[in-house]
Amino acid sequence: MLLRRWWTRGRRQVRRVVRLIGRPFRRSVQLRLLATAISISVISLALLTVYLSVAMRDGLVDRRVEEILSESARSLSQTQTTVNSSTASSSSGVQQTLNDLLPALQSGGTSGREVFLLRSATNTSSVRVLDLSTAPDAEGIISDALRQAVAQEPQQQHWQSVRLESGEPGVVVGSVVEVPLAGAFDVYFLYSLASEQETLTFLQNIIALAGVVLIGVLGTLTFVVVRQIVRPVKQASVVAERIADGNLNERLMVHGEDEVATLARSFNAMTGSLQHQIDQLAQLSAVQRQFVSDVSHELRTPLTTVRMAAEMLYQSRDEFDPVSKRSTELLHTQLDRFEDLLADLLEISRFDAGAALLEAEARDIRDIVLQVVDYEMTLAEKKGVWISADLGEQSLRVDCDSRRVERIVRNLVVNAIEHSEGRPVTITTRGNSQAVAVVVADRGIGMDRTEVSRVFDRFWRADPARARTTGGTGLGLSIAKEDARLHGGWLEAWGRHGFGSSFRLTLPRRAGIMLTSSPLPLEPDLSSTHEPSPVLVVDEHGPASVPRFDTKEDSDDE
Q: What angle do CA 436, 437, 439 make, to 5 degrees?
A: 165
The C-alpha atoms of residue 218 and residue 197 are separated, in whole angstroms, by: 31
Whole-number pLDDT of residue 23: 64
Got the DSSP string for 344-357?
A: HHHHHHHHHHT---
Whole-number pLDDT of residue 20: 63
Q: Residue 469 carries which DSSP code?
A: S
Among candidate residues 174, 93, 100, 102, the one with its CA nearest the CA of residue 129: 93
Q: Among 22-26, 83-87, 390-394, name the most confident range.
A: 390-394
pTM: 0.47
552/161: higher pLDDT: 161
Whole-number pLDDT of residue 26: 63
What is the separation of C-alpha 221 from the centre of its chain, rounded to a whole number of angstroms? 30
The C-alpha atoms of residue 70 and residue 64 are separated, in whole angstroms, by: 10
Tell me the C-alpha to C-alpha distance, in Å, between residue 433 and each of 102, 395, 437, 480, 518: 101, 11, 12, 24, 11
Tell me the C-alpha to C-alpha distance, in Å, between residue 269 and each of 39, 195, 237, 250: 39, 71, 16, 12
Judged against a pLDDT cut of 80, whether residue 307 lies above it is answered with no
Range in 95-109, 356-370, 380-394, 502-516 the model is least confident about: 95-109
- Helices 402-419 and 476-486 cross at an angle (nearest 10°) of 140
pLDDT band at 165; cut points 50, 70, 90: confident
Among candidate residues 397, 502, 521, 379, the one with its CA nearest the CA of residue 446: 502
φ, ψ of residue 155 to 5 degrees: the values are: -85, -5
Judged against a pLDDT cut of 90, whether residue 535 lies above it is answered with no
Judged against a pLDDT cut of 80, whether residue 404 lies above it is answered with yes
Whole-number pLDDT of residue 405: 92
Mean pLDDT of 46-50: 85
Give the whole-number percent of the chain exceeding pLDDT 70. Answer: 86
Among candidate residues 275, 230, 222, the one with its CA nearest the CA of residue 250: 275
Whole-number pLDDT of residue 426: 92
Whole-number pLDDT of residue 531: 45
pLDDT band at 508; cut points 50, 70, 90: very high
Q: Where are the beta strands (DSSP E) in 338-485?
A: 361-364, 387-390, 397-400, 425-431, 435-442
> Which domains, ranges and CATH numbers included, belong to the chain?
86-197 (3.30.450), 260-350 (1.10.287.130), 361-557 (3.30.565.10)
Mean pLDDT of 415-436: 90
Mean pLDDT of 307-321: 82
pLDDT band at 462; cut points 50, 70, 90: low
The C-alpha atoms of residue 52 and residue 44 are separated, in whole angstroms, by: 12
Mean pLDDT of 72-82: 85
The predicted-structure confidence for 239-271, as pLDDT tens digits, reads as follows: 888 887 778 788 878 877 777 788 888 888 888
Got the DSSP string for 12-45?
A: HHHHHHHHHHHHHHHH-HHHHHHHHHHHHHHHHH
Whole-number pLDDT of residue 538: 34
- Helices 259-315 and 194-244 cross at an angle (nearest 10°) of 30
Helix (H) or strand (E) holding 286: helix 259-315
Whole-number pLDDT of residue 545: 35
